Each structure stands twice: as structure tokens, then as C-alpha cells.
Amino acid sequence: MAVMLLTRLGILVLSLAAASLLIFLVVQVLPGDPAQVVLGVNATPEALAQLRHQMGLDLPLWQRYLIWVGGILHGDFGTSQVSGAPVAELLRQKLSVSVPLALMGVAVSILISVPLGVIAGVRYRHLSGTVISALSLGGIAIPAFWAALLLITVFAIRLRALPAGGFVAWSDDPVGAFRSLLLPAISLGLVQGAILTRYVRSAIVDVLGEDYIRTARAKGLTRSQALRRHGFRNAAIPVVTVLGVQLTSLLVGAVVVENVFYLPGLGRMLLQAIGNRDLIVIQATVMLLTGVVLVVNFLVDVSYRLIDPRIRATA
Amino acid sequence: MRLAAAISAVLAVIACSGTSNPGSTPRASSKSTIVVGVTQEPTTMDVTAQATAAIAEDLRDNLYEGLVRTDPTGKIVPQLARSWELSPDGKVYTFHLVTASFHDGSAFTADDVKFSYDRAMDPKTVPANPHVDYWAPVQSVDVVDTHTVKVTLKQFSDGFLFHMGQGSAAIIPKGTHLAATNPPATNLATNPVGTGPFKFESWNREASLTLVRNDHYWGTRAPLQKVIFKYISDPNAMNNALLAGDIDVVSGVTGPEQLGSFLNNASFKVLEGKPTGKIMVAMNNAAGPTRDIRVRQAVSYAIDRKAFIDGIQQGHAVPIGSHSVPNDSEPYYVDLTGAYRQDKARARQLLTEAGYPNGLTLRVSLIPFAYARRGGDILASQLADVGIKLQSENVEFPLWLDQTFTKHNYDLTIINHVEPRDIGNYGNPKYYWGYDNPQVGQLLKQADGEQDQTKRNDLYAQVERQITSDAVNAWIMSPNSLAVIKSSLHSYPQSRVAPSIYLGAAYFS
């Protein structure tokens, strides 16, 4: 186990280093001059040259890369070239929206998919199982922003039970912050839940056909006892894999829903930074997200071994 | 069956609660916070550092002030200068200043004016003022006494006083930016200080900006206690926010087709103001097929302005035929919309004369604003009718700045020139449309230096006629400013000719 952990950690570090170089190079290829974006259509060439110097854009590429990576290693993500704000502070602010939103979205997704998926799997030859399958297909087809608009119309405009958008800082009003994330999380979770339901269902159907379930039934367990004691743990592996993917994609992929609810999340900041050519902010955000994806993958990998002793043994 | 019954029960509950909508009852008059929905967020809090119009939109006149202010119709009115005189030769402005203090407690004096203007004029300033050309006519700025400042011009300039009412001509406290800070984290960028009726409280990026009333304001204290700008880029989200009561104002309606939910609704008022900005098909006069005046004229003759006005602005715009708009900021406006009325036969004939009897293909670069993208479709169909095939290139704004504006690598582009009194660009042959006519340059210089208003307007009118007859660009329309506010809100600016959304007089009943 320890050797496995160390190799996995080594791969993680190498992947991060490679990612940083790739991200830096790709961002440099973006056409458009950040200084021109800042100074607009009436800027003089002298002013442009001065601002480029001030932004450090006149340094050689390798030097800028080293300065950036060196900063990150010291925990310094740099300063936004456009707004002058420290990037670490910006990321912290956005993460306080995006991380709870992604977690709440995944929670909604689990709450919907696990019970429905198990029922659909257990009763897959019955009407109720078929109905759930059909509903989940419909759910996959619904775009999250459309679900969001419906939820806003019902709960914000008609019922006035929840805000139509915006975000209250956790430090100002924790209940308000939770309320402002509720509708976005539901609209994300509904769609993700529909997807996950199908994975849970097929995992359960597969497990029910396994020999060890038949053996368990043969030694006298009921179907639900067999499922609870032997089935769920085996069914969990594909589901956890999909959950990991969903969690990371919700972190930045929530940008459409962030726009509908005008939430100050990571996705919107990234989009705005690209529009303003705020290179430092783009690099830092993409690097952070890459880091999260790699770490989540690492954790999912480790969790397989906790769920399934056989994988532990072969590693 | 049971499921259907349950769904209809839920719908019934929703419908019932909809009728007892609490937000439709008027609020108490004690409401002292205004929440303004704004599409674009400022990129910094320093109004003197960047060209983004959103900075001045939120902060000028509310937080920062200048010697003069542009009122909502485009006229220049006193602000920190309570009055001024111009010497008979038109070269020396003497400004008499009000007694005021900055939000940091320091007194506002003539020294601050000298500091702010000297700093803006200096090309070595970091960060540079994006509108350093506003100060091009200035010779020197001199302090006469604490409350009097003298600005000497190289020669009279009509544009000078007008530009002092723009965003970046704000007066900032002496010494700002001079501290050795790690660029560009200068203090105004994150902690703005001015003399205005509201002062800075907090800025939560991609979310909101909060200003609070300046209780030591030199003029009439603002009725409102707090101003919150909320940044909502999605037009649907903006409308929902107003309908749900989360905001009080939609400051700029981006899609007039969405006005439907607010017209004939007593809770809201739709404000339609004077036209601002020039939406036009800009053309490359220096290279490519559009270098030929006949091709440019053919494009101008192919265009039916009404289709643009209806298709993009649902009729909420006025047609324009040259580089000027009928509002008070451009008093030299002449109506030249008759110069090129749609005439497809004439357009085809001009193309034949130019050597394109079988038509030609032109590139058009389109930035991601509704007017450009929708305008691109309308333009493509109108030009196709006369044999010009359009090749659309959708670009984001930084790319447009790079390829179209800086490298002049384009044939056509649809753009809204929002800065008032920018006709002077036709005197600059290096400007992106590459129009080089020394006679126009001479007329523009003469016009800016002319003190007599009638003669001056006449000179500008000559420029307008010349650039129209040269078909430098195909001017289309000037959209009317559109806002939706709660009915209980008063003294909100009806027009948006000024660079700012001035809220110093607004109040709720």
C-alpha cells in the first residue's frame, strides 16, 4: 500500500509539472495584447510599451515561466494584470462559491440517483424500473440552464421563496449563502443525477447477475439482504468513478449555470479573464483546476482500494 | 393517474401563490439602498487608468468628480469648478473651485487639480491615462490660489472643456500613485478615493460593487444611503433579477425584445432616452477591395438602415448618415441619412465600374455583441442582394483589437463607437479605417480652434459631408438608451449621454 501511494504521488507531482508548462505555453499563444485591451482604442504607442513593460510582457518567455512557477512554489500566485488584485485572494473568493456549489450539486445528484438507480436496477423488468429509466433519459436531455430558468420562474419570481441569483458571502450570512446556492445546486444536481441514475442502475443490474449473489441467495439470504451485504460494495466502483468526474466538471463546468444565477464562481472568473486577457489569472485558474482534477483522480484511485480488497492485493 | 393529479395539485399551489405576489405591492418610502443591475463590470476601480467604459459608468460623478460634469443630455455643467472664465483670445481657462474634501479627509484644492492634470498629460505616467489626447491642447496648468486654477491652452480648443467631463478627467488626491507600489496594484485600483456623493465600501469581483453615502459631501447630500451595482451579463438573468425584486434597475437593456415583460406593468417604468453611440460598418480605406471608393459606396447603397434598426433595436434607434449623433454632446450634427438611400441597382453598377461585374467576397469581423452578430446576418443578406458575398469572422474583443484595430487586417467590421465627439479620428490617417484626406485633417483642426459656435458647427458639418461623400464608413444607427426601473424610483437619469449612471439625486417614494 505504501509503495503504491508513493508511486501514485510521484506520478501526481510529475503530471502537475508537465501541466504547468503546457498551460503556460497555451496561454501565451492566445492572440491579443493585454496592454491594448486595458488601454483601449485611443492609447498612444508609448503608453502601450510602458504598460507592457509594467506587466512584464517584454521579458523572454522562459523567464516569465520561471517567475510564475517560482511564485506558485512559494504560494504566490501573482497579481492580476488588469484589476491589480492578488490572484490567491481572487481564487479563494471564487472557491468559496464553486466548491460548495459543486459539493451541493453532487449531493443532490447522489440523493436522486442512488435510490432511483437502485429501484430501477432491482425492478428492471417491472414497470416502475422502466419508468425511472425513461425519466432519467429525459433528465439527461434537459440542459442545466433550462432547468435553472424553470426553477427561477417558479421559486424566485412566483413563490419568492429563494433569490433569483447573486451570492451572499458566507462570512456575512451563512444561511443566505446557502440559500443562494440552493437553486443552482438543484439545477446542476438534477441533470447530473439523471446521468448517475443510469450508472447506478446498470451497476446494480450487473451485480445482481453475479454468481456470488446467487450463492448468497442459495445460503438463505433474501434478495435485499444479499444486495446490501455483497452487492452495494461491488456496485460502488463504477459509480464512484463517475462521481469523481462529475465533481471536477462541476467546479468549472458550472459556468453556464453561474451565468444564469450571476454567481461569482470560478467559471465566470475564467471566462472574464480570457475576455480581458488577464494572463496571470487565466494561468492560475487553469492550473488550480488541473491540480484539482489530478488530486481527485488520485483520491478516486485510492478509494478503489478501500472499496475493493482485491485491487489492494494486486497493487 | 395519481401522478397527473399530484402534478396538477403542485401547479395549482404555484399559481395561487403567484397571485399573492408580495413584490407587486409598493415598498415603504424608507428604502434607502438601490441595487442597479449592470451588464459590464469595471476592470479596476481606478477611473484614470483604463479605457473600459464600465469604470466611469459606475464611478464617475458618483465617487469621482471632475472640474465639470456631463449632464444626462450631453451638456457641460459645473462640478468641482463652480464657475469658470475664458480669456478673450480663448487660450486661458480660469476655474473657481468649490470647497470640498476627499473621502480620505484631505482638503480638495487647486494643487489637486494641477497634480491630476499634470499626471494625466505626462506620457511617462504609470499607469498611463488611456485618454492622454484629451490634454493635447494644454500648455500648462497653474495654481493661482487654493481655490483658483488656471489652464493655459496652446490655442483655443472646443473639445477641451467637453473632455474634462469624461471619466478619466477625474480629480484625484495629490500624491496618488506616486508611492512606490508593486505595479499595477496602485491604491486607486483597489481603494478609490474621490470627492463624490458616494464613497467606496467594497468590491466583490464578478459579483457586486458597494458604495455608501458620503455624509461630508460638499454639495447636496444624496438621498440614498447605499448604492450596489450588481454585475449580470446574461440578459435573461437580468430580467429575472428585476422581476424577482433582487435589483431595482436594469441599467442598459441589451435586447429590446425583452422589454415585453415590463411594458404595461405598473410596477416598472421603461425609460427611453436620447440616442448615443454610432453603430456602423467600418471599412478598410487603405487596403483590399474597399480601398476603392466605388466599392465603399456600393456597400453604402446596399444598406437599408430600417432593417438594422428593427432587427437589432426593435425600432429603438435613430438612423445616422455620418459620424455624428443628434444629442447635445455633438451640436454640429447634420442629417445626412439621405446621402445613400438603399439603391441596389446603383450599388451593382458601382461594383461593375470598380471591376467586379460578377460581385466579390469581403470579410467582416464581428465581436460578440448582439448588434454586431445580428447586424452581421442582416448585412450579409443585404450585401448578397447586390452581389457581395460576406465571409463572417466571429472574434472576441481582444482579437478584434489585435487584428482589426491594430493590424488593420480586415475589410469590414460592425462596431459601435461609443465615445462622444470622436469625429477627430478622421484626421488621423493611421486610425484603423485608414482614411487619409489632408483637407479633412485641416478642417478638423480649424473647427476645434474656432471660438464662434456657429462657424465651428459649420466647419464640422463640412467634415461630416466630406467623409460621407467619400463613403469612409457606412453609418447605420444610434441606439436610444433604454433602462427599466421600479416605478417607485425617481430622478434616475432618463438619458445616458453622460459617461456615468449618476445616482446622487435618485430616491425612492
Q: What is the ipTM of this complex?
A: 0.78
Q: What share of chain B has pLDDT > 70, as a percent? A: 93
The 8-class DSSP code of residue B201 comes to E
Give the residue-averaged pLDDT of B341-368.
95
Give the residue-averaged pLDDT of B436-444.
95
Tell me which residue in A44, A149, A152 faces B123 most closely, judged by beta carbons.
A44
Q: Which helix (H) or strand (E) holds B37?
A: strand B33-38
Q: Do A261 and B237 touch (CB under 8 A)?
A: yes
CB proximity A275 to B under 8 Å: yes
DSSP alpha helices (H): ranges in A40-162? Answer: 45-54, 61-73, 87-122, 127-141, 144-151
Q: Do B398 and A165 touch (CB under 8 A)?
A: no
Q: B204 contacts in A (CB within 8 Å)?
A: 93, 169, 264
Cβ proximity of B118 and B102 under 8 Å:
no
Nearest-angstrom CA–CA distance, A193 and A186: 10
C-alpha cell at B106: 484631505
Interface contacts (A, B; CB < 8 Å): 175
* Residue B22: per-residue pLDDT: 37
Instruction: With H, G, I as helix, E, B as strand and everything else as coil, classify residue B309.
Output: helix
Q: Which helix (H) or strand (E) holds B33?
A: strand B33-38
The 8-class DSSP code of residue B26 comes to P
Cβ proximity of A133 and A200 under 8 Å:
no
Nearest-angstrom CA–CA distance, B450 and B454: 9
Cβ proximity of B90 and B155 under 8 Å:
yes
Nearest-angstrom CA–CA distance, B479 and B477: 6
* Residue B9: per-residue pLDDT: 43
pLDDT digits over B38-48, tens only? Answer: 988 898 898 99
Tell me which residue in B236, B397, B402 faces A149 most closely, judged by beta carbons.
B236
CB proximity A93 to B under 8 Å: yes
Q: Which helix (H) or strand (E) holds B231?
A: strand B226-231
Residue B19 predicted with pLDDT over 60:
no
Q: Is B199 exposed, middle or buried (0-12, 13-18, 19+ CB in 10 A)?
A: buried
Q: A154 contacts in B (CB within 8 Å)?
A: 14
Residue B129 predicted with pLDDT over 70:
yes
pLDDT digits over A156-200, tens only? Answer: 888 888 888 888 888 888 998 999 999 999 999 998 999 999 999
Task: Give the pairing of strands B360-366 and B412-417.
Answer: parallel
DSSP alpha helices (H): ranges in B385-437? Answer: 397-400
* Residue B108: per-residue pLDDT: 97
Residue B96 predicted with pLDDT over 80:
yes
pLDDT band of B359, cuts 50, 70, 90: very high
pLDDT band of B172, cuts 50, 70, 90: very high
Nearest-angstrom CA–CA distance, B50 and A219: 77
Q: How far is A284 from chain B (nearest CA, A)?
A: 16
Residue B6 predicted with pLDDT over 50:
no
Show which of residues 148-187 on chain A sit within 8 Å of chain B, judged by CB atoms. Answer: 149, 152-154, 156-160, 163-167, 169
Q: Which helix (H) or strand (E) holds B35?
A: strand B33-38
Show which of residues 235-264 on chain A sit within 8 Å of chain B, judged by CB atoms. Answer: 259-264
pLDDT, mean over chain B: 89
Q: What share of chain B has pLDDT > 90, as a percent? A: 71
Identify the residue with better confidence: B458 or A294.
Answer: B458
Residue B15 predicted with pLDDT over 60:
no
Residue B121 predicted with pLDDT over 80:
yes
Nearest-angstrom CA–CA distance, B120 and B48: 8
* Residue A312: per-residue pLDDT: 66
Neighbours of A275 (CB within 10 A): 16
Q: A41 contacts in B (CB within 8 Å)?
A: 51, 401, 405
* Residue B179: per-residue pLDDT: 53
Q: Within 13 Å of residue B481, how many CA atoms lie on the same side as its CB?
A: 26
Residues contacting A315, CB < 8 A, separation 6+: A1, A4, A305
Mean pLDDT, each 10-residue run in order, chain A (315 residues): 82 91 89 81 78 84 90 86 84 91 93 91 84 85 87 89 86 90 93 91 88 87 84 85 85 84 90 87 91 85 78 61
Nearest-angstrom CA–CA distance, B227 and A106: 36
Cβ proximity of A216 and A226 under 8 Å:
yes
* Residue A44: per-residue pLDDT: 77
pLDDT digits over B413-422, tens only? Answer: 999 998 889 9
Nearest-angstrom CA–CA distance, B336 and B467: 11
